[in-house]
Amino acid sequence: MTASYSKIKNDCTAAREAFARARKGHYALGAFNLDNQETLKAVVFAAKAKKAPVLVEVSKGEVDALGLDNVRDMVDNYKADYGVEMYINLDHSPTVEDAIAGITAGFECIHIDISQADHNATDKEIIAKTKEVVRAAKLTGALVEAEPHYFGGSSNLHTEKIDYTEIKKYFTEPVEAQNFVEQTGIDTYAAAIGNLHGHYPAPKVLHLDLLKEIRSALDCNISLHGGSGTPGHYFLEAVKIGVTKVNINSDMRIAYRDTLEKVLAENKTEYAVVKLMDEVIEAVQKVVESKIDTFNSAGKARV
């Protein structure tokens, strides 16, 4: 059931206030991907234990599997049951239509990523479609996030090395970022400073001096995608500089699958799946709690 218009607006106002608090308090909201109800429970339990504000997010694949309204209802139910501060982000929405559907469903944060669906999209096309989403979001007050270039990698366990020569081609240029924000009116800019979707054999390296330049150039929020597989000290510094949102997916998926395989191997005669999930949820919860600590958001929730 879609929430009432007044509730959606109130939730979006609260999300804006949460981002403002994060920026002022030099911490980041962790944005944790949901694959199913078990990962949602892991995030909720971590948020409750750490008294931290969190985002949960779904991208196109999860939306197709779970449904926008179902995600909204599940999140609202768990918020009410556990008393946590939690908001929803529609991550990497590939089209204007998908983004508007997220706005209508009452998601507080919308990431429009035109270049993901079309790597050859022109700057003009990306700006025009991003502006369209920004206009639509004014209906509810949802925060809109975007970037002008395709962001590489995938939320998975990779075996290949990171090709820094290639990804440096897409590093954020502060002046370009400033122009993009001014032209589109977005609330959150997704910066590229060495972060990359997925988990790789070698730890990622973030260019914090570039992040400082980006922070100086922008008045809006800054997010970092591809937070998995990144040494925690980078995030400790990034939030001091002014990052207010960090996306985590692959680290959760790895913990989920590895633990599930272990549990299945140890319980070959158990077919009641619900009885097998406690250890899996706990493993993912530990990942989320560790990220909350490095994002400096523990103890920052308002409920």
91 catalytic residue (yes or no):
yes
Calpha distance 152→3 (Å, rounded): 34
Residue found under tokens 């218009």? 5
Residue 32's nearest CA partner among 198, 227, 204 is 227
Three-class secondary structure assignment of 145-207? EECCCCCCEEEEECCCCCCHHHHHHHCCCHHHHHHHHHHHCCCEEEECCCCCEEECCCCCCCC
Under a CB-based contact definition with an 8 Å cutoff, are residues 42 and 284 in contact?
yes
φ, ψ dihedrals at 189, nearest 5°: -105, 125
Q: Do residues 52 and 298 touch, judged by C-beta distance below 8 A? A: yes
Which entry of 91, 113, 187, 251 is annotated as an active-site residue? 91
Which residues are known catalytic residues? Answer: 91
